[in-house]
């Protein structure tokens, strides 16, 4: 392997960040855009070169893809515990390199059009580069400590980018919220690292994950509340991952994060940073699987399933299209966690793991595409709300078709990418747990419903009168759309299971026909409902009848017959349950977080009186403090 090339991949964005950041004022917008895109292009080429070399040239060594580590000792903490810095190459890190590079490059190109004329153009590109660098570092990390450092750096750059429109009060608040919530989650991560580092004496993934190694064969026995210390460590680490990957109840920052510029949402809050939590669990998968028979892994599965369902229901109620996409992301991340949670380790048992990574890969493509399309729409109509959109397919054909491809992909319609990965997930879940499978298939239906709801709302629906006639976005924005649309349509055909599996050996995965038919049928039902509810809401009935003929008449009559049913779904399901869930999300989950914050501030106000400014009070406190301590000592602590 060519390690120079691999190390250059993160270093190029770092260099771009430093150049653009330090010479902010001296570099014109044109140059900074080119520097950003150029640097990203080189990194992308190197990533693909690395992938080619790893999978094709190097290939399997004695039946499995090897883990290659190149690192130097950074700090020796004690004689036994040390901290390294380096790069780790294995199938999932190579896959993540491809994801990060592709999406980041597309977003860089797109931003040249989207951010045109913005006063902080250069600053924006420097932040993007900082983020990309941190993300590469996270993906390539060789040990827990390194991944934590980049984890935080990713958090900081996300904070900067969410709060990019710093004059907007809501953006600043959203940035703060994202930072604080993920910090609380990282608190768990940090303690988890401390626990694992201390009990195993290493931070290195390779040593920790070795199925024959001491860590996994002799995991520390039960100690606290009947669970092994390592299980606690893994649960705490999962809390960190849940914060980044917006799992319930740590998801509350994600919808607000949509205040950032849309390309940022596409890059960070759809394709890359938010999957870091999934990646983290996958990175430590052997630990999750072997320690205490996978107790922690079950938690992952259930949290994932619940988040998937919860978010999908809420997505139905949102009117801001970016928020719909945000909840949709949360829901899809829940899928990935669920798949990891039900996965086995050896051979085709690892279907869940493989399908999770597969879905991560395909989701990155089509979700980034959805966001970029949404950005293109928002760019044209200057609003995030569905009520200001409608009939846009006439004005923006490329955006429309791209969005349609992405929507079909996320809904799981063959042959688009999402079908293949989602099908594998459902098969994996079905093999393990029927209840979770039912949840999964239900969410699949909801997914199709909410995504086509906004699709119809944006591109069909009512005929809005626009003040400025909306126009298709410039080429810098549509080219990435086309590229991603092609990818969303095709990447499903990659034989993922040959490259990625928990034991690295690869296996043959094949489509389970009955499962696939069920899933597609459910998705089609979802799309059908969306079509009935949202497409013909305006006075287009006649034209639609002309175009769709029998199909429409049938739907129309069906609608008439099923008025009661629709009443039930619309009023009880949507207004009752979904709105209720949205309310609970806003008031209870959000409220609790706010309560923690506010009560800290309030308590801080209350104790103000202690610092009176009078030196005699201080002396009093000093002496009485000493006396109390002495009493505590004598009566409590001495035997």
Partner 1 sequence: MNMETVLLLRQEISILIIALLLLIFEIFAGDRQKEGVVSLTIILFALHTGIGFLDMKEGLLFGGMFRTNALIHLFKNILNIGVLIVLLQSAEWVKRELVPQHRGSEFFILLLSSLLGLQFLISSGDFLMFYLGLELSTLPLAALSAFEMYRRRSSEAGIKLILSSALASGITLFGISLMYASTGTIYFAEMGTLISENNLTVMALILFFAGLGFKISLVPFHFWTADVYEGAPIGVASYLSVISKGAAVFILMIFFFTVLKPLIHLWENLFYLLAVLTMFLGNLFALRQQNMKRFLAFSSIAQAGFILLGLITGTTLGVATVIYFVLIYIFSNLAAFGVVQAISTETGKENMRDYEGLYRTNPKLSLVMMLGLFSLAGIPPVAGFFGKFFLFTAAASKGYYFLVFLAVVNVTISLYYYLLVVRAMFLRKSDHPIPHFTNALYMRIGLVITVVGILALGLYSPIYDYIYALSNTLN
Residue ranges in contact with partner 1 by CB under 8 A: 73-78, 81, 145, 148-149, 152-153, 156, 163, 166-167, 172, 176, 179-180, 183-184, 187, 190-191, 194-195, 197-198, 600-601, 603-605, 607-608, 611, 613, 615, 617-619, 621-626, 629-630, 632-634, 636-638
Q: How far apart are CA 333 and CA 508, in angstroms?
A: 25
* Element holding 82 (H helix, E strand): strand 82-89
Q: How far apart are CA 381 and CA 362, in angstroms?
A: 29
Of the pair 52, 622, the CB lying nearest partner 1 is at: 622
Least gap, CB of 87 to partner 1 (angstroms)? 16
Helix, strand, or coil here: 596?
A: helix
CA-wise closest residue to 267 among 372, 168, 180, 345: 372
CA-wise closest residue to 269 among 186, 321, 340, 330: 330
Least gap, CB of 357 to partner 1 (angstroms)? 27
Least gap, CB of 211 to partner 1 (angstroms)? 26
Q: Which two tokens stand for residue 611?
A: 């610092």
Q: Which two tokens stand for residue 6?
A: 């691999």
Contacts of 428 (CB under 8 A, 6+ apart): 339, 342, 343, 351, 352, 355
Give one DSSP letter per residue of 464-506, joined into a string: PPPSS---PPPHHHHHHHHHHHHHHHHGGGS-HHHH--TTSS-
Of the pair 562, 617, the CB lying nearest partner 1 is at: 617
Least gap, CB of 637 to partner 1 (angstroms)? 5
Of the pair 189, 327, the CB lying nearest partner 1 is at: 189
Of the pair 60, 82, the CB lying nearest partner 1 is at: 82
Of the pair 158, 362, the CB lying nearest partner 1 is at: 158
Least gap, CB of 491 to partner 1 (angstroms)? 34
Least gap, CB of 252 to partner 1 (angstroms)? 16
Of the pair 240, 526, the CB lying nearest partner 1 is at: 240
Least gap, CB of 546 to partner 1 (angstroms)? 55
Check if the beta carbon of residue 483 is closer than 8 Å to that of residue 106. yes
Of the pair 60, 123, the CB lying nearest partner 1 is at: 123
Helix, strand, or coil here: 560?
A: helix
Q: How far apart are CA 325 and CA 323, in angstroms?
A: 5
Check if the beta carbon of residue 485 is closer than 8 Å to that of residue 412. no
* Element holding 238 (H helix, E strand): helix 229-244
Of the pair 197, 492, the CB lying nearest partner 1 is at: 197
Check if the beta carbon of residue 309 is closer than 8 Å to that of residue 337. no
Of the pair 69, 191, the CB lying nearest partner 1 is at: 191
Of the pair 190, 494, the CB lying nearest partner 1 is at: 190
Q: How far apart are CA 306 and CA 436, in angstroms?
A: 9
Residue recorded with tokens 């999402």: 418
Least gap, CB of 397 to partner 1 (angstroms)? 40
Q: How deeply is 628 buried, as exposed, middle or buried, from its count of CB atoms within 10 A (0-12, 13-18, 19+)? A: exposed
Least gap, CB of 159 to partner 1 (angstroms)? 9
Of the pair 66, 120, the CB lying nearest partner 1 is at: 120
Of the pair 550, 634, the CB lying nearest partner 1 is at: 634
Least gap, CB of 127 to partner 1 (angstroms)? 12
Of the pair 194, 568, the CB lying nearest partner 1 is at: 194
CA-wise closest residue to 127 among 165, 98, 181, 80: 165
Maximal C-alpha separation, the chain: 92
Least gap, CB of 78 to partner 1 (angstroms)? 6
Q: How deeply is 600 buried, as exposed, middle or buried, from its count of CB atoms within 10 A (0-12, 13-18, 19+)? A: exposed
CA-wise closest residue to 51 among 21, 92, 17, 79: 92
Q: How far apart are CA 446 and CA 428, in angstroms?
A: 20
Least gap, CB of 606 to partner 1 (angstroms)? 9
Least gap, CB of 4 to partner 1 (angstroms)? 21
């Amino acid at each position: 392997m060519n390690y120079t090339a691999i190390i250059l991949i993160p270093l190029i964005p770092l260099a771009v960040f430093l150049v653009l950041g330090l010479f902010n004022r001296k570099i014109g917008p044109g140059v900074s855009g080119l520097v950003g895109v150029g640097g990203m292009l080189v990194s992308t080429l190197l990533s693909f070169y690395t992938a080619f070399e790893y999978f094709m040239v190097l290939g399997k060594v004695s039946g499995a893809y090897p883990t290659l580590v190149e690192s130097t000792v950074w700090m020796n903490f004690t004689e036994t515990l040390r901290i390294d810095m380096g790069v780790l190459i294995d199938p999932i890190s190579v896959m993540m390199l491809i994801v990060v590079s592709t999406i980041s490059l597309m977003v860089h190109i797109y931003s040249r059009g989207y951010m045109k004329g913005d006063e902080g153009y250069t600053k924006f590109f420097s932040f993007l580069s900082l983020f990309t660098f941190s993300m590469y570092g996270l993906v390539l990390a060789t040990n827990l400590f390194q991944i934590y450092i980049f984890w935080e750096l990713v958090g900081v750059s996300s904070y900067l980018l969410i709060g990019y429109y710093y004059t907007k009060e809501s953006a600043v608040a959203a940035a703060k919220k994202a930072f604080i919530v993920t910090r609380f989650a990282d608190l768990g991560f940090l303690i988890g690292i401390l626990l694992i580092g201390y009990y195993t004496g290493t931070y290195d993934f390779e040593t920790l994950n070795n199925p024959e190694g001491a860590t996994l064969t002799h995991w520390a026995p039960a100690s606290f509340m009947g669970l092994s210390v390592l299980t606690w460590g893994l649960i705490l680490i999962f809390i960190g991952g849940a914060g980044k990957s917006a799992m319930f109840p740590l998801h509350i920052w994600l919808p607000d994060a949509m205040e950032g510029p849309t390309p940022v949402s596409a890059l960070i809050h759809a394709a890359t940073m938010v999957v870091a939590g999934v990646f983290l669990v996958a990175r430590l998968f052997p630990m999750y699987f072997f320690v205490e028979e996978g107790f922690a892994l079950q938690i992952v599965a259930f949290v994932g399933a619940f988040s998937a369902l919860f978010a999908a229901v809420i997505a139905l109620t949102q009117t801001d299209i970016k928020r719909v996409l945000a909840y949709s992301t949360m829901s899809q991340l829940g899928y990935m966690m669920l798949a990891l949670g039900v996965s086995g380790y050896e051979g085709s048992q690892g279907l869940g793991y493989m399908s999770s990574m597969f879905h991560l890969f395909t989701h990155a493509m089509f979700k980034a595409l959805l966001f970029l399309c949404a950005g293109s729409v928002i760019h044209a109509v200057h609003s995030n709300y569905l009520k200001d959109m409608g009939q846009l397919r006439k004005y923006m054909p490329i955006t429309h078709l791209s969005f349609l491809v992405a929507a079909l992909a996320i809904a799981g319609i063959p042959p688009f990418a999402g079908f293949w990965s989602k099908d594998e997930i459902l098969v994996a879940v079905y093999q393990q747990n029927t209840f979770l499978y039912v949840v999964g298939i239900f969410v699949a239906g909801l997914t199709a419903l909410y995504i086509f709801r906004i699709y119809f709302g944006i591109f069909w629906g009512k005929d809005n009168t626009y003040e400025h006639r909306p126009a298709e976005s410039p080429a810098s924005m549509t080219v990435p759309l086309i590229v991603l649309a092609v990818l969303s349509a095709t990447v499903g055909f990659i034989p993922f299971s040959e490259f990625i599996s928990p034991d690295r050996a690869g296996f043959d995965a094949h489509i389970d026909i009955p499962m696939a038919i069920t899933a597609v049928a459910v998705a089609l039902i979802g799309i059908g409902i969306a079509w009935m509810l949202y497409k013909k809401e305006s006075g287009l009935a006649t034209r639609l009848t002309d175009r769709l003929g029998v199909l429409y008449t049938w739907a129309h009559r069906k609608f008439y017959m099923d008025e009661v049913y629709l009443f039930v779904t619309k009023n009880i399901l949507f207004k009752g349950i979904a709105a209720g869930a949205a309310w609970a999300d806003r008031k209870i989950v959000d409220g609790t977080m706010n309560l923690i914050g506010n009560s800290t501030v309030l308590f801080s106000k209350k104790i103000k009186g202690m610092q009176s400014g009078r030196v005699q009070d201080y002396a009093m406190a000093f002496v009485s403090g000493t006396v109390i301590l002495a009493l505590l000592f004598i009566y409590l602590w001495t035997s």
